Each structure stands twice: as structure tokens, then as C-alpha cells.
Amino acid sequence: MEQALVRVLLPVAAPSIVTTLIFVFINSWNEYTIALTLISGGLLKPITVGINIFYGFNFIKWQYLFATSIFAAIPVVILFLFIEKHLVSGLTSGGVKD
């Protein structure tokens, strides 16, 4: 039974698992509301909440805001670069007949 799971079911489900992994990572990385509400310590806040310190009442520090936004996007881009081949193979696996 275990061999059937590993040899048949897992290769078929791998693109779905990879896609779910991407969505879960991006949603947890970009999470804002719960972190803003529940985390009170300044060092514990995620980068999405920390970006708000660059907004002022009459001014916005654009250079710091853009630099922090690029820094926040880097892990998502790196994850996509590693998982791209699995994602593309999963998207094209149903459309091509051998």
C-alpha cells in the first residue's frame, strides 16, 4: 500500500502540493492584520507591519519604503525561482497527451 502511494499517487499530486505550498507561503509572508493586532513587541513584528513606520502624517519616506518593499519581496521571488519548474510541469501535464 505504501509503495502505491509513493510511486503512483505522489507523482500525480506533486504539482498540486507545490502550488499549495506557494500559496500558503505567500499568504503567510504577506499576512498583515493578525500580526498588527496580536504582536505588540517591535522586534517581533513581520516586515509587512514594519513598513508602516515609513508613513508619517504629512510625509512619506519614499526611499525607505521602496527599499523595504523590495527586501520584503525577495523571499517570494527566490521561492518561485526554485519551484518554477514544478509549477510549469504541473500546468502543462494535463494538456499534453503522450
Would residue 26 count as lying in a domain? yes
Query: What is the structure's pLDDT at 93?
Result: 60
Cell numbers for 20, please give them.
499549495
DSSP 62-92: HHHHHHHHHHHHHHHHHHHHHHHHHHHHHHH
**Residue 81: pLDDT above 60?**
yes
Whether the Cβ atoms of residue 46 and residue 31 lie closer than 8 Å to each other: yes
pLDDT in tens, 3-56: 877 777 877 787 778 778 888 888 888 888 888 888 887 788 888 888 888 888
Domain count, the chain: 1
Q: Measured between alpha carbons, how far is 98 from 88 in angstroms, rounded to an integer?
A: 17
> Would you say residue 5 lies in a domain?
no
Structural domain boundaries enclosing 41: 14-93
User: Residue 20 falls within a domain, yes or no?
Assistant: yes
3 occurs within a structural domain = no
Of residues 62 and 83, the one with the higher pLDDT is: 62
pLDDT value at position 70?
92
The pLDDT score that the predictor gives to residue 67 is: 92
Domain membership flag for residue 51: yes
Q: Is residue 69 part of a domain?
A: yes
Cβ atoms 94, 37 nearer than 8 A: no
pLDDT at 86 over 70: no
Does residue 58 sit within a domain?
yes
Q: Which residue has the higher pLDDT, 65 or 95?
A: 65
Residue 8 belongs to a domain: no
| Helix (H/G/I), strand (E/B), else coil: 95 | coil
Q: What is the pLDDT of residue 92?
A: 63
